Structure 1
Amino acid sequence: MRLISRHTVLFPNAEDVGSHLTYNDTHIEIRGDAGVIAQNRWAWNTEALDNGASRSSTRITWRAPERVRGDSESSVAIEPVLCPGLNIYTNATEKHECLRMVENPVYQSVHKESFTQMADWLPSEYDTSFIKWDEVNCDYDITILNKTLEINEWCPIENEKVIEFTKPIYVNQSEVGLFYVDFHDDKDINLGGLRCTWDSVGVIENCQKTMLMYMPAHVVATTPMSIHLEKPVGLHPNLVINLENYTSCEIQCDYFAYLQLPVDLFIDRFQSGPVSIFGQQDLEQPEYRLQNNSWGSESLFILEAGKINEINLHSRYVSPAPNSSYKSVAFNAMIFKACDSNTEEVVRNPFYSKGLGYEAFFTPDTVFNHMRSTSIGVDIPVVDTSHYNTTRFATLGCIIFSMIYLFLRVFTKR
């Protein structure tokens, strides 16, 4: 079983590569700074990953909620835009009833806010104990394809933090790339820098100048667009997406909203007209009757450029609780423009590949221009049970008193 590791460090400027680098015969050390991002990739049996497109696969992604991400160039150069939180997608035919997965024609999925369940999905035959998982500062994109495994990790290297690269004995092949963005626009990224490799005994055998040019699949807008809940927020939250300053001149492009809703919220497909919606869609049931059915729903809407778009959400009745007035829930909203590139270049990105998730609803040559990705909170009213007995006996007392009063009035008149 072969393990191949590839590490990439992206610097903001060309001069940063040399000023933040020290090395000897076996080790490379990088000193962190603002805007420096590292990608670590570990791949087991990579030859099987390359030719198994039609086989069952599982994709696990984690987008750290509190991670501070760099500018748009560094963000899109070596990492994709993932959905917030923990997301597990699989196109395997077996059911996972305990996970309450949402099914669509392409895959089954589950969304969690916690990182803890991720390790349960990793194949036990692979030793990943050397990986220092960091759910606070790092994002992860993991592919399990026909019992093979590829783990991608993206982390910022903070100011003055020093990271070390070498070839451990358990790694069969290892390389490090140290790059900066030489040129960048909406269609192409050109990276310049160094690429170093180790020989079989762990000695650096070669470092050479390298230039990479490729087409990004994800582009991040420098100015996020406006998205908010209309005030006041009641039992039927109204999501407002302002596209008044955006045009639709490109025939091959459309604007979309992708929502991940917890079971506490739902969309009436007959009212809002999504392009697709999967998961919990019952219009009548309360939240506590559906908790064991699925984690919620995912939906995709096409938006109209040049105007304000609205998506009507609905909240379910939630379980009564003592000393509570509201239950706070959150949902994820991704707003992006998807464009057909009509070229295979977009699938040749050396740093990430498309997989299951919202990308699966589009063609492989689609380029995503991300305008906003955010988590939005909603407070749902809760019946307070702390005074349940007082209310029950007071109500019963009023009923008994009213009956006695009515009987007295009726028989007194006679």
Structure 2
Amino acid sequence: MKQRITYVVTEPESFTPEQISVQKRKNGNGDTFTLKGVHAAKEHRITLGLDELSQAPINIEVLKKWHELHIRWASDFPDSVTAPFTSRVSPGLHIFFTPSTEAKNPDLCRDIRSLFSDTYSPIKCTTSHETAIKIPMLSERFSMSTALQYYSPFSEDDWDASKIAEWFQNMTGADSSASYIDIDYDAISQAVIFTVVWSHAPNKKGWTESVYVPEDESTVEIGVLSHEPNTDPEDVQFGGFLTMLGRDDKPKPTRFQTPTRHYPLLTPESFNPNTTPKLSPLTYTTSINRPTGLHPTLTLTLPSEHLTAPDPTCKLHTYLTLPSALFIDKYQFSDPLFLTSKNLIALRSIAGATDLEAPDWVVPQWGSASLFELASPSSSAADTEASAPPSSGDWNVSIPLHLRYLPASPTPHTPISIPWPVVFWVCRADEGEKHSLNPFDRKHLGYEALFGPKTRFMHVQPARERGADEEYKRLVETIDVPVLDTQKAGMVEMGTVGVVVLAFLGLCWVLFGKVGGKEAADKMKKKQ
């Protein structure tokens, strides 16, 4: 087993080397690494060989079914994670996988239920062949692509109830909620990599903890780094201290620079070599129009004054992950005037459940995923003769959605959760081939295969807004959809029967009543 623990200091001005140390354990078995009050984002990565899986909740028989298996879970709490942990997916459980050619009818759904309890939130999954959707890709040989994708709006409560969450807590010893968790396996490496990332320490005092080697055969690499100034817009640079427990007596100073696929969106001043990098103030919010009706509209709101492309080659995009209860009518987005009115450039890709007529209970897929290119004030101004300065208002992007008819329920309304999409600038990367050299590179997020390998993603952070209860609003929008109330279905049935009977009697009166009246009138005429 190998472990790599990385702390990226978020307050470098207040950090001192005296806050970290390596000491011999009292019993003489190995070294202990200690931190005291370090404010940082944290990544804990655990690598297990297949012969070591007895320690993990995933067994080898499950993995042998898949050529590749990549699990991504993201919290629905808004977190601003520092570089190099800036990549994002929509809140919930994402699974990207390619079945093994040697496996016969592998059942992903059964494996999902064995790992993730669906006690709190039922998992829509019949068979992996029916439920999963095929991921469109730029090239069949693209290395960041798997064949199929599955998604479930798995909340933090659902995740905490799963076997994997319990195992992660025992292995990492952390009490705070994670920003995201990744599990990666491929048949070539024959290894499983578990990764968990926290955006901040569990309390305002920072990380105060001790780390040691649990077994003689294990290795633990620890780094305490800070994001340093760098003039290259494609690379990130870190400086700090590294240590390998059992080999180093004390943390060693280090500095390294690496190209990155997912780059943080920084202020222009951050590329000054004498300035500490700072995140751009650009954020976005997601909302649903009220009342929603059967055709809700998802609106992305961004401040216009900060909505400037970081480079002329960059284009603004959003990637939506929608449950099967909602769908996008792709034919709407073929009209240029319609797109302009919504501040959209184009619908670049859509996959999954796109049937325009089917009710939700006959749709086997989990839902759909779509990629939109968005217009921005700078791109709109480019169409005019002179570019206007950025305005101070909000820039709204509207994406029309459509609701499917939902199954009957004991209540008159059924709640539907819509996860916030991810928003990012897509820019050209001249050093795209070197992305795999980044030790923090994160792949298999669903949308990379829609672009070429020479692409870097500059992510816009979701806004952190407090609700009426002073808690941060979650990155999920909920709408109540009217459905047939089964408790009142009897009244509806009786009413329907009554209307049918009355209509039948009325029809009989029209048909036979008039005939009888006409015969009586004829008889009276004959007598006269």
* TM score, norm. by length of structure 1: 0.81
Quote the residue 2:271 is aligned against. Answer: none
Residues 225-275 of structure 1 deviation map (CA, whole Å, 9 limit, x = unaligned) = 354333432211222335655355844221111111100001111112521
Gaps of 5+ in 2: 25-30, 51-65, 109-125, 137-144, 266-279, 335-346, 381-395, 463-474, 521-528
What is the CA–CA distance in structure 1 between the aligned matches of 2:175 and 2:93, rounded to whole Å?
A: 13
Instruction: For residue 394 of structure 1, give the secondary structure of its aligned residue in structure 2.
Output: helix
Residue 82 of structure 2 is matched in structure 1 by 75
* Residues in 2 aligned to 1:134 and 1:85: alpha-carbon distance in whole angstroms: 20
Equivalent in the alignment of 2:243 = 196
Aligned match of 2:15:
16
Structure 1 residue 133: deviation in Å?
8.3
SS at match of 1:91: strand
Asked if residue 400 in structure 1 is aligned to residue 400 in structure 2, the reply is no
Shift of 1:131: 5.2
Give the Cα separation in 1 of the matches to 2:301 and 2:76: 24
Q: Name the SS of the counterpart of 1:288 in structure 2.
A: helix
Q: CA deviation at 1:208?
A: 1.1
Q: Is the 8 A contact 1:4 1:44 kept in 2?
A: yes
Question: 5 Å matches for 1:7-406?
Answer: 7-11=5-9, 12-25=11-24, 26-32=31-37, 35-44=39-48, 56-66=67-77, 69-70=79-80, 75-78=82-85, 80-92=87-99, 96=108, 98-99=127-128, 100-105=131-136, 106=145, 107-114=147-154, 115=159, 130=171, 136-146=177-187, 147-155=190-198, 156-159=200-203, 160=205, 162-169=208-215, 171-183=217-229, 187-199=234-246, 204-216=248-260, 217-220=262-265, 221-242=280-301, 246-247=307-308, 250-273=311-334, 274-290=347-363, 293-306=364-377, 308-344=396-432, 345-355=434-444, 357-373=446-462, 374-401=475-502, 403-404=504-505
How far the C-alpha of 1:300 sits from its partner, in A, is 1.0
In the TM superposition, residue 111 of structure 1 has moved relative to its aligned partner by 1.0
How far did residue 343 of structure 1 move?
A: 1.3
- Is the contact made by 1:81 and 1:218 (CA closer than 8 Å) also made in structure 2? no
Task: Kindly provide the amino acid, as one letter, of the partner of residue 268 in structure 1.
Answer: D
1:17 and 1:193 in contact (8 A); partners too: no
- Structure 1 residue 143 displacement after superposition: 1.6
The structure with the larger Rg is 2
Shift of 1:21: 2.7
Shift of 1:19: 5.0
Report the structure, 1 or 2, having the larger helix content: 2
SS in 2 for 1:275: strand
For 2:243, the aligned partner's letter is C
Report SS of the residue matched to 2:421: strand
Amino acid in the other structure paired with 2:355: D
In structure 1, how many angstroms separate the alpha carbons of the residues matched to 2:419 and 2:227? Answer: 34
Q: Is the Cα contact below 8 Å between 2:176 and 2:201 reproduced in 1?
A: no
Aligned to 1:124: none
- State the 1:215 CA deviation: 3.5
Corresponding letter in the other structure for 1:389: G
Once the 2 structures are TM-superposed, how far is the Cα of residue 402 of structure 1 from its aligned partner? 5.3
SS of aligned partner of 2:449: helix
Please name the residue that 2:337 is paired with.
none
Unaligned runs of 5+ in 1: 47-54, 121-126
Matched residues in 2 for 1:399 and 1:57: separation? 58
Give, in angstroms, the shift of residue 361 of structure 1.
2.0
Q: Which residue of 1 aligns with 2:3?
A: 5
Q: Which has the higher strand share?
A: 1
CA distance 1:5–1:198, shift in 2 (3 Å)? same
Q: Per the alignment, do residues 204 and 288 of structure 1 end up closer, same or farther by CA in structure 2, a change over 3 Å counting?
A: same
Q: 1:206 to 1:134 in 2, by over 3 A?
A: closer
What is the Cα deviation at residue 323 of structure 1? 2.5
| Moved >6 Å (runs of 4+) | 116-120
Matched pairs, number: 389
Label 1:5 to 1:14 Cα distance change in 2 as closer, same or farther (>3 A).
Answer: farther
User: What is the percentage of aligned positions where both structures have the same residue?
Assistant: 22
Aligned in 2, Cα 1:300/1:136: closer, same or farther, shift over 3 Å? same
Q: Distance in 2 between matches of 1:14 and 1:192?
A: 13
Change in CA separation of 1:340 and 1:332 when aligned onto 2, cut-off 3 Å? same
Q: Secondary structure of the residue that 1:86 maps to in structure 2?
A: strand
* Cα deviation, residue 366, structure 1: 1.8
Are 2:297 and 2:400, in contact at CA under 8 Å, matched by a contact in 1?
Answer: yes
The alpha-carbon deviation at position 401 of structure 1 amounts to 4.4
